[in-house]
Amino acid sequence: MAVYYYNGAKIITPFTIVSNEPMFDMTTVSLKTQRASQGHQRWELSFNVVNEKHDHVDVFLSSFQNLDASNTMIMPQLSEAETNTTTTSTLIAIPSSTSSGASSVTVTKDGSGTLAKGSFITFSNNDKVYIVTSDVDLSGTGTATVNIYPNLVASLTSSNSMNINSNVEITYYRDIDNQRGITFADGLLSDIGTITLIEAV
């Protein structure tokens, strides 16, 4: 599994990635359940970091400074998706327009291999992070269909592209409900507790 960093500190496993999409249930008089969603979704990440002497100050400062501003970092990929992805590309072209609300996007094959189900992706025209819901064969020429979740929040044109692998960044806010101090175990190691990030949508 690749190593991911938060403000220069290495994220350690296990880490949590949660999809937050509010759903509403209603039970009818005939006891049937009807479920609805407003169609809004965000990713939420929780993790701990390894703090070494050279980075614990930056990580500590990030726990209380600039909480009103969004930041970015490389989105951690699921280990199975990393293992099963064979393409080394980071940018994939989009040959035609796709309307917002679509659950799939057509991309241009780059002859490089497979983008695995479970991979996180972004598009060049907005910050939303999506997950690929089925394997995508990018080998050869022509086009391929990328099935995504959630549905596309902004329309795409041929001037846009799809970011994959190490090119995928999440724009986030630090969760203010988990503010903590920093604990020094000795002169070198420190712990700021669990960090929770909320995707800026």
Name the percent of the chain lying above pLDDT 90. Answer: 60
pLDDT of residue 53: 57
C-alpha to C-alpha distance for 63 and 53, rounded to whole angstroms: 17
The whole-chain average pLDDT of the chain stands at 88
pLDDT at 9: 81
Q: For residue range 104-121, what is the model confidence (pLDDT) as tens digits?
A: 999 999 988 999 999 999
The stretch 14-28 carries a mean pLDDT of 90
User: What is the helix (H) or strand (E) element at residue 190, kind and residue range?
Assistant: strand 190-191
Averaged over 40-52, what is the pLDDT? Answer: 88
Transcribe 74-111 into DSSP letters.
EPPPPHHHHHH-----SEEE--S-B-TT-SEEEEE--S
CA distances from 146 to 64, 119, 134, 164, 198 (A): 39, 11, 7, 12, 25
pLDDT in tens, 63-108: 777 788 899 999 999 999 999 999 999 999 999 999 999 999 999 9
Q: Where are the domains of the chain?
A: 1-75+170-201, 78-167
127 pLDDT band, cuts 50/70/90, is very high
Q: Which of 6-20, 40-54, 107-121 has the lowest mean pLDDT?
A: 40-54
Radius of gyration of the chain (CA): 19
Each residue of 151-167: pLDDT tens digit? 999 999 999 999 999 99
Which pLDDT band, with edges at 50, 70 and 90, does 185 fall under? low
Q: Can you give the pLDDT at residue 156?
A: 97
From CA 152, how far away is CA 136, in angstroms rounded?
Answer: 17
CATH of 78-167, one of 1.10.1380.10, 2.40.30.290, 3.30.70.100, 3.40.50.150: 2.40.30.290
116: which residues sit within 8 A by CB, 6+ positions away?
80, 81, 82, 83, 84, 85, 132, 135
Q: Is the pLDDT of residue 188 over 60?
A: no
For residues 201 and 179, give the distance between their C-alpha atoms in angstroms, rounded to a whole number: 22
- Name the nearest CA neighbour of 198 among 168, 167, 170: 170
pLDDT score, position 80? 93
C-alpha distances in Å from residue 140, one per residue of 113, 133, 195: 8, 21, 42
Name the DSSP letter for residue 134.
S
CA dihedral (160, 4, 136, 41) positive or negative: negative
* Spatial contact of 44 and 20, defined as CB atoms under 8 Å apart: yes
The CATH architecture annotation of domain 1-75+170-201 reads Beta Barrel (2.40)
- The reported pLDDT for the residue numbered 107 is 97
Statement: the pTM of the whole predicted model exceeds 0.75: yes
Distance of CA 129 to the CA centre of its chain: 5
